[in-house]
Each structure stands twice: as C-alpha cells, then as structure tokens.
Structure 1
Amino acid sequence: MRKTTFILPLVVVAVAAVLSSVFIVDEREKALVLQFGRVVDVKENPGLAVKIPLIQDVVYYDDRILSREVGPLEITPLDDRRLVVDAFARYRIVDVRQFRQAVGAGGVTTAEARLDSILRAQTREVLGSVSSNDILSSDRAALMLRIREAARNEANALGLEVIDVRLMRTDLPQANLEATFARMRAEREREAADEIARGKEAAQRVRAQAERTVVELVSEAKREAEVIRGESDAKRNGIFAEAFGADPEFFEFYRSLTAYSRALQEGNSSMVMSPDSEFFNYLKSADGVPN
C-alpha cells in the first residue's frame, strides 16, 4: 500500500512531464523553441517535436500568406495635385528566427505596425516622384512594382517577404473636389470655346472658298456663253448675209415684214403716215413686188 502511494504520484508527474515536453507543429505554422527568452531551435516541418518541460517555451507563427491594409494616405505628386491613396500588401514570415529578434514578444502586431510605416514611407516616396496623371493611368502597375521592391528590401530586416502591393483607391481629398471640378469645368469650357472658334474660322474659310469658286464658275460660264453667243451670232449673220446676198429683193421683203410685225402689234400707239409712204410698199402691191 505504501509503495502504491509513492509510485502513483511519480507516474502522474512522469506522464505530465512527457506531455509537456511534446508539442505539435501544424503545417500552416512555424514554431520557435525559446529557453529563457532565447531562441534555441526552429521547427518548420509539421509533426511532433520535443522540448524541455518548464525550461523551454514554444511560440507559433503563421506560415501562410498574410494581408495588411494600409489606411488612407494623403500624398502630393509632382504636379501638387494632392491624392488620397488606400493600399494593401501581402506578406509572409520567411525567417522566424530573424522575425523574433526584430519584433521580440510583440509578434505579428508589432511587425504589422512597422510594415505599415515602411509601406507608407515607400508609397509617399514613389508616388511623390511622378505626376498625378501617371498615378491615375495604366502606369500605376509599374508604380506598384516599385513600391513593392522598395518595401521588400526594408522588410527583409524583419524576416518578412513582401509578396505584393496594390493601390485600391486613388481619390482627391474631399476639400479639393469642388475646386478641382470647377477647374476641370473651366478647362472644358475653354476647350469648347476654342473648338467653336476654330470651327467658325474653318467654316468662314470654306464659305469664302465656296463663294470664290461660285464667282469663278459663273464668270467662266458667262465668258463661255458670250463666246458661244458671239460665234452663233457670227454664224447667223453669215447665213443671213449669204442668203440676202443671193437675193437682195428677198432681203428687202424680209426686212419690211419684220418692220410690219414689230410696228403693227396690238396695243401699239397710233401712227400717222402718208399712204404714199415707202413703209406700205409691200402692202399696196398685189404680187408682193413694191411699186
């Protein structure tokens, strides 16, 4: 009975010592074995591991890719057009020993605070070296790459690897929105006025050219018409001259008939003439031959 009384507590102590000396490393974690606060071992492979009970402690760190959002950050690009930028980063703890030495017992909370400072500083530096148009254009992909590379160099000292940095939102500060919109509206109105003025100028040039073309075409048409009319009159006179030269009496008869048709029209004024006037020679002749 006395042996049982002494053996049972020893068994319990031995079992407790064995259980406290064994720990499990999950595949999503890395573990540090600390002895009086000093790192004595690193466990990166998943499975069972052993430590010295009561003397050594185990600290676990996440081995997965972690995300960190950077709050609104106001920056001033080269053109002094202030912008508010939101960003986020993806990072991973790659060296747990160096990570422990850099942040101490603060762990991930302290590391993320320092990572925030790095990301803010690099974002200000990179975006402050370009214009706002570059930030708002497709060139922002290259800017994000520059921020990531600069932040990665500093984060390595913390045992961290910065995998990616993204700009989520790029807006104007609320206080500047109205002034910016007013300036943009004024610029658009000025551009519209310039376009209207250029359009009127072009229309005037086209109108003047068209009027000039019309004058030239009309003048050319009149000249050609006069030439044709002159040629036609010359041909007509030539035909008349030839016809009248062949028969002078017919020419006199034709001329008298033309005079009658023009003088003896309805509504003409009355004419007082002597019946013996030569004007009526062909009217008094029975055979059409003047007396």
Structure 2
Amino acid sequence: MGRLTVIIVAILIALGLSSLMVVNEGERAIVSRFGKILKVDGVTRVYEPGLHIKVPMIDKIKLLDSRIQTMDGAADRFVTSEKKDLMVDSYVKWRILDHERYYLATNGGNKAQAESLLQRKINNDLRTEFGRRTIKDIVSGSRDELQQDALKNASESAEDLGIEVVDVRVKQINLPANVSSSIYQRMRAERTAVAKEHRAQGKEQSEIIRAKTDASVTIQIAEAERKALAVRGEGDAIAAKIYADAYNKDAEFYAFLRSLEAYKASFDGGANVMVLEPDSDFFKYMKRSDGK
C-alpha cells in the first residue's frame, strides 16, 4: 500500500468520523447549514438523543440542554399595593419548549441571554402580583396564590422565547436594610420601655411585700414580748405567792433561807472583799452562838 493510499484512507476516515453527530441523553441538537437552520418540509429539524449523520465541514451543530433548568438570581426590590418596599428572593424552574423559537430568540441558543430575558419577564410578573397585594396579605398566607398567579403569567410571557416555565417560587421576603433597621430600633425601644415598666412594677411589689413582711415580723416580735412579759409576770406572781406562803408558815426559817441565798449570791460572785459593819444584820445567822 503506497503512501498516497494511506493518506486517502486517513482522510476518508476523518471525514467519516466528522460526519457523525452524537446527541447525549437530556440534549437536543439543531444543525445550521450555510448560516441557515436545517429544516425538513419547512419545519426545523430537532435531533433527538442518539447518533446522527451530518455534512462534514459544512453543518454546524448547536446542542441545547432540554432538561429542567434552575434560575436563581439575586433578590430584587418590589413595591406592594400600600407602597411599601420589599426585598424578594425567588427562583424559577424552566426548560426549552420550542427549540427553534428558543434558538432564534436567544441568539443561537445562548443560555445566559435566555435567562437574562426570562428574568426580566419573571420580575415584571412578580412586580405586578406584589403590586396587587399588601404586606399582610403576602405574609399571612396568600404566598401560594401569588406564586400560582406569577407562574401562570410567566408561562404566557415566556412563550415567545420558546421556554416553558415549570415553577416560580418565592424563597424569602425581607424588608430593605434601612427599613429593617428602623423597625428593629423601634421594636427595641418598645421592648425596653416594657421591660422598664415590668421592673418598676416588680420593684413596687417587692417593696410592698418587704413592708408587709417587716410589719408582720414587728407584730410577731411585739406579741412574743407581750406573751413573755405576761408569762414572766405570772411566774413572778407565783414565786411571790410561794415566798409569801413560806413566810406565813415559818417566818424565821424563811429569813434564814433568804440569808443563805444572799450568802451564796455574794460569795459565788468572785468578790474577795466585802465592806460591812460588824453588827450588820447580814451576818446575824453567822454570829449567833445559840445554834438556831
């Protein structure tokens, strides 16, 4: 086999391989020939997944992702019916419905351009839906209705792009940063005022309880002292009666017993010196020699 034959065979193999077109699962392909989309009977031919044949060096392939796509853009500002600003974070699920229309509307199937155009339409639809509702309506439970209405409108407005909007979801709704800050400051001031009021009421109640407790303690102490004085008085009266009875029975013995008690109290007190007159009655029972 000559060198020329080898070259020809290689060229034929290369041409044969370049004439093959592989479309993967989840993709569709559109072929343009000489700058025009390839059509069959006036209808754009969309190649399904599989192995196809094309004209080498002439046909240009554009693979389009036919799976469901997620567009998650940045939060945008919307105005409610009461002229209140909200920062809304949403996402959109979409896929290609009409490949020819999509290809022509997005500059040859440019996904970034498609999402940019779709984002504008979705934002306009959401802006319309938010403009019909108040903040209370949006937060209190009509979010599902809002999303359904937005999905319906978005599906209609995205048809000219050849796109089917599968779902529109609102992830988060917030107030703008400056509004949130002022609201938080007001809420903090209100909570601070309530806390001060509760502290004042608590302090007042504590003073009342403390005053009642002090009064109760004072009354109880006074009552205890009164009872103690009464018991002490009763004891003194009983002791006096006992002394009187003893004195009436034997006055001399009573005087002797009281003198012994006086001696004991005097001598047990630790006093070493007592200054008394020699004939003092204090020692009369010590000086008697008659044994009585």
TM-score computed with the length of structure 2 as normaliser: 0.60
Query: 1:160/1:73 Cα in 2 relative to 1: closer, same or farther (>3 Å)?
Result: same
> How big is the alpha-carbon RMSD for the aligned residues of Structure 1 and Structure 2?
2.4
Q: Distance in 1 between matches of 2:90 and 2:46?
A: 33
1:152 aligns with 2:160: no
Residue of structure 2 aligned with 1:11, choices 9, 12, 23: 9
The alpha-carbon deviation at position 182 of structure 1 amounts to 5.7
| Percent sequence identity over aligned pairs | 30
Instruction: Give secondary structure in 1 for the equivalent of 2:117.
Output: helix
Corresponding residue for 1:119? 122
Instruction: Give secondary structure in 2 for the equivalent of 1:85.
Output: strand
Corresponding residue for 2:132? 129
CA shift digits 1:70-109 (9 cap, x unpaired): 3111111012221100000000012111111111136101
Q: Indicate conservation of the 8 Å contact 2:80/2:132, yes or no.
A: yes
Q: Distance in 1 between matches of 2:94 and 2:186?
A: 41
Count of residues in correspondence between the two structures: 189
Corresponding residue for 2:61? 58
Query: 1:131/1:70 Cα in 2 relative to 1: closer, same or farther (>3 Å)?
Result: same
Corresponding residue for 1:227? none
Q: Distance in 2 between matches of 1:82 and 1:180?
A: 13
Instruction: Give secondary structure in 2 for the equivalent of 1:97.
Output: helix
Residue of structure 2 aligned with 1:92, choices 95, 99, 105: 95
The alpha-carbon deviation at position 119 of structure 1 amounts to 1.1
Query: 1:80/1:163 Cα in 2 relative to 1: closer, same or farther (>3 Å)?
Result: same
Q: Indicate conservation of the 8 Å contact 1:85/1:169, yes or no.
A: yes
Corresponding residue for 1:34? 32
CA shift digits 1:242-288 (9 cap, x unpaired): xxxxxxxxxxxxxxxxxxxxxxxxxxxxxxxxxxxxxxxxxxxxxxx
Q: Indicate conservation of the 8 Å contact 1:87/1:168, yes or no.
A: yes
Gaps in structure 1 of 5+ consecutive residues: 194-291
Instruction: Give secondary structure in 2 for the equivalent of 1:163.
Output: strand
Q: Indicate conservation of the 8 Å contact 1:25/1:43, yes or no.
A: no
Gaps in structure 2 of 5+ consecutive residues: 40-44, 195-292
Corresponding residue for 2:237? none
Q: Given residue 145 of structure 1, which amino acid in structure 2 is its aligned partner?
A: Q
Corresponding residue for 1:21? 19
Instruction: Give secondary structure in 2 for the equivalent of 1:70.
Output: coil
Instruction: Give secondary structure in 1 for the equivalent of 2:11.
Output: helix
Instruction: Give secondary structure in 1 for the equivalent of 2:83.
Output: coil
The alpha-carbon deviation at position 127 of structure 1 amounts to 0.6
